[in-house]
Amino acid sequence: MSEGFSPVVEDVSGEKKEKGDIGRLLAGIRFIFNNPVTKASLRLATRTVRVRYADGTEKEAPLIYHALSAFVGEQIVQCPLSARFLIPIINKTIEVGIKFLHGDIDEARKSIKDPTIRRGVALVMKGLGLYGVTVPQKMPAPFLIVWNFTNMCNLRCIHCYQRAGAPTPDELSLEEKLRVVDELDRAGVASIALSGGEPTIHPHFHRVVREIASRGIHAAVATNGWVFANINELAKAKEEGLKYVEVSIDSADPDKHDKFRGVKGSWERAVKALENAVKLGMDHGMAVTITKLNIGEVKEILDLAEEIGVKRVIFFNFVPTGRGLENMWLDLDPVEREKFLREIYTEMKRRPGLQIVSTAPQYGRVALQVSGGQEVAPTHFAVSGDPIVKAVAEFVGGCGAGRIYAAIEPNGDVVPCVFLPLAVGNLRKQSFWDIWTKSKLFEDLRDRDKLKGFCRVCPYRNICGGCRARAYGYYGDPLAPDPGCIYNLKDWNELQAKAPRVRLAEQPSGQQSSP
């Protein structure tokens, strides 16, 4: 154990009062939403109805979705009589709620104009109506689906969870992909991120983006940037409805990035893709997998992001799966990870124009501790000091695998996470709803009492819970402790004593390929 880090769970300065305040807020939330009358009202407000709008479009969605559409000025011309009666009541309730929370109604309308926000609100309300308040909160569908669209890829990344390269013979057909989008739409999924492999080189990419966007679902892509280095390609995808582009850059040093990604010139094209996203005004992020190779250049990577004009940097955990199983030496030990998470929190404070987050669920705990109880990271995408957000973190914080997020493989297999290759069903044989609501593994992942080791009893388990994919990668058990946490240092040391990590064979200079 290095100096400055203790495995004893400390009570951070100011946190006791904060816990009391948040506890009272949580109790109030539970009292309101676990009330049978409230739950019945929410079930009524979230039942699915078909509505026709003035622009001629028809949509089948929860009643509250249509109410929010009317709230922002979209004119409904045909709907069931009960909906015509309930929509004004729902909208009046929304106005009262916004005023009660001292919100700005005009700003709320501006946000709710985004169909993704409406879908997210409907999803939360439906979950509360079905399950009441639970910790973690149970949802009737995930907020986010990451779809490993294809196994096809033009790079050869040494950590690839998919072992991507050639397309597999059992990948979904275009017709099947469009049916999957329809199923996810009916389930109420708010966002679909296409990943891979490399989705942008697949002939179905543009057609599926158009289909996702036409449903009012947030369309995103995780890419190596090779195709989008051509601004016309990115502009076309934007026009078709792509809302968010996330480009992987793993070093500020072009040679290091290219070696990590296995293809010369990949760094230059990734940087160009991000520059194009900035130029086109698209929502975007730089994705960085943090390993022993780049842990020493965090500041340089963030400097590069600022130089490009990037607004968000997401540091991804290394997870021992796929090709990563052959290169486990890349993983940070718990002390290195703790230092790293504290470093990026400090850098976030130094760089107010740059959002810096991490997929490591421990970041929620680190933010709370380093800020003296003032801030928390409730998801991978934000850090906040708002007391309501801190309360919400108790319900949605930490690892979201199988809980608020799931993934789909190229052949239609549904898995809890792209890094957790345990299929719980297949969309060729089962509906997404059946898989989401009936999977035993998903049920276990939604119950923090099922966790093992220190993760089960950790006081931070509701805002962290450990990475379930890393637990599976090291123990073959998704409910095992996450050995990358500073509080599980003993577990890490025992693992290292039993099974030394395999080291990557150095690739001879000049042997990188070209796509």
pLDDT at 500 over 90: no
Band of the pLDDT at 375, cuts 50, 70, 90? confident
pLDDT at 285 over 80: yes
Give every CB contact of residue 144 below 8 A, 6+ residues apart in sequence. Answer: 189, 190, 191, 192, 193, 400, 404, 405
Residue with tokens 């072992």: 163
pLDDT at 217: 96
End-to-end CA distance of the chain: 43
pLDDT at 36: 86
Q: What is the rounded average pLDDT of the residues 394-408?
A: 88
Q: What is the rounded average pLDDT of the residues 66-86?
A: 94
Residue 209 DSSP SS3: helix
- With contact defined as beta carbons under 8 Å apart, do 269 and 229 qualify? yes
Residue 366's CB: how many other CB atoms inside 10 A?
A: 25
The predicted model scores a pTM of: 0.90
Report the alpha-carbon angle 153-154-159, nearest 5. Answer: 65
pLDDT at 456 over 70: yes
pLDDT at 414 over 90: yes
287-344, pLDDT tens digit by residue?
999 999 999 999 999 999 999 999 999 999 999 999 999 999 999 999 999 999 999 9
48-53 and 191-195 strand pairing: unpaired
202-258, pLDDT tens digit by residue?
999 999 999 999 999 999 999 999 999 999 999 999 999 999 999 999 999 999 999
Q: What is the rounded average pLDDT of the residues 187-205?
A: 96
pLDDT at 18: 46
pLDDT at 15 over 50: no
pLDDT at 23: 57
Q: How far is CA 379 from CA 76, 283, 495, in A?
A: 35, 18, 28
pLDDT at 21 over 80: no
Higher pLDDT, 510 or 212: 212
User: Which amino acid is residue 354, in one-letter code?
Assistant: L
pLDDT at 5: 47
pLDDT at 27 over 80: no
pLDDT at 14 over 50: no
Higher pLDDT, 139 or 380: 139
Rg over CA atoms, the chain: 23
**Weakest mean pLDDT among 3-12, 261-270, 282-291, 484-493:** 3-12
pLDDT at 286 over 70: yes
Q: What is the rounded average pLDDT of the residues 346-351?
A: 95
pLDDT at 506 over 70: no
Instruction: Give the rounded percent of residues in the chain with a pLDDT score beyond 90.
Output: 74
Band of the pLDDT at 28, cuts 50, 70, 90? low
Nearest Cα neighbor of 215 from 195, 188, 194, 239 is 188
Question: What are the φ/ψ torsions at residue 413 (nearest 5 degrees)?
Answer: -65, 140
Question: What are the φ/ψ torsions at residue 482 (nearest 5 degrees)?
Answer: -80, 110
pLDDT at 8 over 50: no
Average confidence score pLDDT of the chain: 89
Q: What is the rounded average pLDDT of the residues 180-188?
A: 96
pLDDT at 97: 80
How far apart are alpha carbons 60 and 77 in whole angstroms? 14
Residue 1's CB: how many other CB atoms inside 10 A?
A: 12
pLDDT at 95: 87
Instruction: Give the rounded percent of residues in the chain with a pLDDT score beyond 70.
Output: 87
Residues paired with residue 426 on neighbouring β-strands, in sequence order: 413
pLDDT at 508: 34
pLDDT at 405: 94
Residue 73 DSSP SS3: coil
Burial class, 136, CB count within 10 angstroms (exposed 0-12 / middle 13-18 / buried 19+)? buried
How far apart are alpha carbons 423 and 92 in whole angstroms? 44
pLDDT at 10 over 70: no
Q: Which domains are delineated in the chain? A: 35-131 (no CATH), 142-223+399-423 (3.20.20.70), 224-360 (3.20.20.70), 447-504 (no CATH)
pLDDT at 379: 59
How far apart are alpha carbons 477 and 326 in whole angstroms? 19
In SS3 terms, 75-118 reads as: CEEECCHHHHHHHHHHHHHHHHHHHHCCCCHHHHHHHHCCHHHH
Q: What is the rounded average pLDDT of the residues 409-415?
A: 98
Give every CB contact of residue 356 below 8 A, 6+ residues apart in sequence. Answer: 302, 312, 313, 315, 344, 345, 347, 348
Q: How far is CA 123 from CA 128, 129, 494, in A?
A: 9, 10, 42
